[in-house]
Amino acid sequence: MPDDDKRRARSVPSSRIGRLAGFGGLASGMVAGALGEGARRLAAGERPSMDQMLLTPGNAKRVADRLAHMRGAAMKLGQMISMDAGDVLPPELSAILSRLREQADFMPPRQLDKVLAEQWDKDWRRQFRRFEPRPIAAASIGQVHKALTRDERHLAIKVQYPGVAQSIESDVDNVAGLLRMTGLLPQELDIGPMLAAAKEQLREEADYEREGRMMQCYAELLKDDDRFVIPELHPDLTRPHILAMSFEEGRPIEALAEEPQEVRDRIFSNMIELVGRELFDFGFMQTDPNFANYRYRADTGQIVLLDFGAARTVAPKVAAHYRSLLEAGLAQDRDRVREEAIAAGFIAPQAVERHPDRINRAIDIVVTEIARDDRLDFGDRAFVAEIRDEVMPIAKDKASWHLPPPETLFVQRKVSGTALLGAKLGARVDVRGIVSRILTETA
C-alpha cells in the first residue's frame, strides 16, 4: 500500500437502525454547523439564506466523512453528486467532496471474516495459499483483496460491504432528504423518476453475479482490441456478494499524467473512441467513470478496465439523440443544437423561454470547442468557466430547473466523467476527427 494511504478500518453500519442513526447524526451535525454559521454571519451584519448556512465547508466535510464511513448507496450518490456537479460547485466544497472519489475506509478483519464465511463457508481459508487481509482498493459498495488459490490462480476478490444491498432504498431516500434540506433541490422539482432509476442501478451494482456477466459481455465486445484489458471472471468463487476475477497489474490511471504528451494524447484518444463505440456501436456502456475504474500499464500502453456493476445497455433513442446533437454540433448549426438539446431533455423549454441569450451563448461556446479543427486541449478549462458564467444564473432560477431522462443522465455521466479524466491528464485530442469517423462508421 502507498505510504500516504490514510484509509482506516471502520465497521460498516449494516443494520437499518444503524444506518438511520448515521443519517440522523449527520443531519443534526449539519443543523448545529448551520446555526454557528448563521450566528457568525449575523454578527458580521449579513442576512444569510438557509442554503448559505448549510452549505459550509464544515458541513461539506461532515457529509463527506459520514458518507465515507457509511459507504453503500449513500457514498455512491455522494460520488455522483461530486463528479457530476464538479465544475459548478464552489471550490471549497468541491475540494472536500472530492474525498468521496478517493478510496473509502475498509472493513476491520472481524467483519470481513464474517462476510466471507457467510458467502463461502467458515473454512474459506482452505481454498487459498494466501489471502491479503488488507484490501488493495476500497470503494462505495465493496473492497478488493489480492489472493492466491491452491491451484496457483492470482485473483482479485471483491467483497461487498454487509447491509449494502438491503439499505439501498433507505439510503437513496435519506440522501435525497439531505439535498432537500440544503436547498440544493427545490420542492417543486420531481426527482421521483431519478431516484427510482438510481435505486435500480444501485441494486444492479450490488449483484456481483450480474457484474460478472457484464464483465464477460464487455470482454467479448473487446476481444479483438488489444488496447484494453478486462479481468477474467472466476465463477467457482463468485457469489452474490463476492466477485472473483483475475488480478490484473496496472498503475493508477493518474500515472499516465507522468508520460510524454504524445503518449497521453494517444492513449486518451483510445479512451474517447471507446466511449463513442459504447454509445454508437456496442449499444452497451460501462457508465461509471470513476478514475479508480481504470489502470495504466506503462510497458504496453494498455488500459485495464475495472468495475462493471454499472454496465448497461444504451437505449436506441438515447444514442439517436446523441448522434443528432453531435451531427448538429459538427455542422456548427447552433439552432439545431438547441432544438436537439431540448428534444433529448438536456435543456428545458422554460429555460430557453426565460434565458434565451444565455442558452445561446452557452451553446456557442460548446459548439466552438467541439467543432475546432485543431486538437481539443482538455487541460485548458477556460471554456468551462465561460459556460459556468452563463448557466449559473439559469441554475439559480428554480422555475427553469429540469432533470433529463435518467437513462440519458447515466450516459452523460460517462461522457462528462471521461472529459474530467482528460483534464486530469492534460490530454490533447482530435475530438472532431474521432467523433466524425465513429458517426460515419456506425451510420
Q: Which of 171, 265, 288, 307 is catalytic?
A: 288
Decide the pairing of beta strands 302-305 and 137-138.
unpaired
Q: Which three cell numbers, joined as nine digits, stand for 367?
A: 459548439
Q: CA distances (Å), 158 to each of 112, 132, 151, 209, 246, in order? A: 11, 12, 19, 11, 11
Q: In what order do the strands lie in the sheet with 302-305?
A: 228-229, 302-305, 294-297, 251-252
- Residue 245, SS3 per DSSP: strand
CA neighbours within 13 Å on the CB side: how many for 2? 8
The DSSP line for 170-215 is HHHHHHHHHHHHHTSS-TTS--HHHHHHHHHHHHHHT-HHHHHHHH
Residue 288 known to be catalytic: yes
Contact present, 434 and 418 (Cβ < 8 Å): no
Task: Give the whole-angstrom CA distance, residue 145 versus residue 390.
Answer: 46
Contact present, 31 and 38 (Cβ < 8 Å): no
CA neighbours within 13 Å on the CB side: how many for 403? 17
Task: Give the whole-angstrom CA distance, residue 414 versus residue 288.
Answer: 6
Active site residues: 288
